[in-house]
């Protein structure tokens, strides 16, 4: 078959809702888009541990500390799981991590904001993991088997992350006036960056044409964003917290919450590297990479010794 016939057969398979598995022929750009999205997703999970890790030693109770530790451990696993999914596309994990360490690779804009108070840990679980779940349950229906299946397992753990975050912030909002103010302050700072993290508007999204034609994403950024907003506004109301958007209003006809203008200038500034914590996050990852060198070296020598033993025994 020539390329045109292969591409037609591939598109027919996508359009019929079948999964594409590793080692199957795919258009080069299908592979490139997946490596781009999956690697950024994996980097997001790893970098996302940093703002939360900042509060492990300062959690207000043993229970909150244990829950936070479990969540951060999950995120590390998600990152390793997603690097494995990327490797099914023929890319080396080391190459992807180098791209992160050298500042070439993107990771989610949301992790370039600081965690200033304990309430931020609740806001991250509730809003960031909440937005991630809405996005990831959509990606779980995507066409590439290894990635869509990774989403199924990750979403189960994200649901725990989302509930623990909402519970944390809800409890604070029912507490003393100072605690409620802390919860409201966290919502004020994390609401709009959580809206932005779901990607540019459909009109400005330069990859969505391809990623949706090939059902890597089965719904658009704006559709996922609207679902996140509709799900989250009532939760804020139930907690007695106010969404920081004077233009927020419920449209009885459409059944959706309508929000004010999104500040895309801030979003593009952050993804260009000028967010509040971009430099700090990159430095932390570079230091961790350097400090972990001896572990990788020891593992390599051990593997070589084991392989030499096997060869000798054979
Ligand atoms: N942060 C950083 N970069 C972003 C971004 C964000 N929130 N949203 C978009 N961009 C970048 C894109 O990577 C693209 O740049 P590139 O072409 O150089 O890669 C550019 O902005 C244009 O955006 P597009 O709309 O064309 O990009 P996408 O179609 O990829 O849409 C996305 C963006 C919705 C984030 C999509 O990439 C996606 O669904 N990715 C997989 C999920 C993911 O990465 N989630 C990270 C969230 S954090 C997380 O899950 C951790 C959990 O524990 C909370």
Supply the mean pLDDT for the chain.
97
- Closest C-alpha residue for ligand 1 atom 13: 106
Say yes or no: CB of residue 208 within 6 Å of ligand 1: yes
Q: What is the pLDDT of residues 222-250, one digit of tens each?
A: 999 999 999 999 999 999 999 999 999 99
Strand (E) or helix (H) holding 258? strand 256-258
Say yes or no: CB of residue 48 within 6 Å of ligand 1: yes
Question: What pLDDT is attached to residue 10?
Answer: 97
Structure tokens at 36: 């781009």
Q: Is 242 within 8 Å of 184 (Cβ atoms)?
A: yes
Instruction: Sort residue 112 into left (φ over 0), alpha (ψ -120 to 50) or beta.
Output: alpha
Cα 193 from Cα 270, distance rounded (Å):
10
Give which of 9, 32, 17, 13 is closest to 218, Cα–Cα. Answer: 17
Q: What is the pLDDT of residues 82-107, one digit of tens each?
A: 999 999 999 999 999 999 999 999 99
Choose the residue to mutate in 99, 143, 199, 220 for probing ligand 1, maximizing ligand atoms within 8 Å of C-beta. 199
Q: Is 225 within 8 Å of 195 (Cβ atoms)?
A: yes
Q: Is 247 within 8 Å of 259 (Cβ atoms)?
A: yes
Cα 155 from Cα 297, distance rounded (Å):
34
Q: Is 131 within 8 Å of 197 (Cβ atoms)?
A: yes
Say yes or no: CB of residue 108 within 6 Å of ligand 1: yes
Say yes or no: CB of residue 286 within 6 Å of ligand 1: no
Alpha-carbon distances, residue 47 vs 44, 121, 197 (angstroms): 5, 15, 14
Grade residue 314 by pLDDT with cuts at 50, 70 and 90: confident
User: Is residue 126's pLDDT more than 90?
Assistant: yes
Cα 282 from Cα 114, distance rounded (Å):
14
Give which of 25, 24, 47, 28 is closest to 36, Cα–Cα. Answer: 28
Q: What is the pLDDT of residues 292-311, one digit of tens each?
A: 999 999 999 999 999 999 99
Q: What is the pLDDT of residues 147-190, one digit of tens each?
A: 999 999 999 999 999 999 999 999 999 999 999 999 999 999 99
Point out the ligand 1 atom lying closest to the alpha carbon of residue 75.
53
- Closest C-alpha residue for ligand 1 atom 54: 129
Say yes or no: CB of residue 275 within 6 Å of ligand 1: no
Question: What pLDDT is attached to residue 1?
Answer: 84
């Amino acid at each position: 078959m020539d390329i045109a016939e292969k591409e037609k057969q591939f598109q027919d398979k996508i359009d019929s809702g079948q999964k594409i598995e590793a080692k199957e022929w795919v258009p080069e750009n299908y592979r490139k888009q997946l490596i781009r999205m999956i690697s950024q997703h994996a980097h997001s999970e790893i970098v996302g541990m940093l703002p939360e890790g900042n509060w492990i030693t300062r959690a207000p109770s043993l229970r909150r500390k244990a829950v936070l530790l479990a969540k951060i451990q999950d995120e590390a696993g998600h990152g390793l799981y997603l690097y494995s999914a990327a490797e099914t596309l023929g890319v080396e994990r080391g190459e992807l991590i180098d791209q992160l360490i050298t500042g070439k690779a993107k990771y989610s804009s949301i992790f370039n904001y600081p965690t200033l108070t304990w309430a931020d840990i609740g806001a991250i679980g509730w809003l960031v993991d909440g937005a991630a779940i809405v996005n990831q349950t959509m990606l779980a229906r995507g066409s590439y088997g290894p990635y869509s299946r990774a989403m199924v397992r990750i979403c189960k753990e994200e649901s725990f992350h989302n509930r623990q975050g909402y519970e944390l912030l809800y409890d604070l909002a029912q507490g003393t006036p100072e605690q409620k103010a802390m919860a409201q302050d966290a919502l004020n700072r994390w609401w709009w960056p959580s809206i932005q993290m779901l990607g540019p508007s459909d009109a400005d999204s330069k990859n969505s044409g391809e990623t949706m034609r090939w059902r890597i994403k089965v719904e658009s950024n704006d559709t996922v964003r609207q679902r996140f907003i509709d799900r989250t506004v009532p939760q804020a109301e139930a907690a007695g917290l106010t969404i920081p958007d004077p233009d927020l209003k419920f449209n009885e006809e459409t059944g959706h919450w309508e929000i004010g203008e999104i500040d895309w200038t801030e979003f593009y500034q952050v993804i260009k590297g000028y967010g509040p914590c971009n430099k700090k996050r990159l430095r932390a990852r570079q230091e961790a990479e350097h400090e972990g060198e001896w572990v990788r070296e020891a593992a390599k020598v051990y593997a070589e010794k084991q392989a030499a033993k096997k060869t000798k025994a054979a």
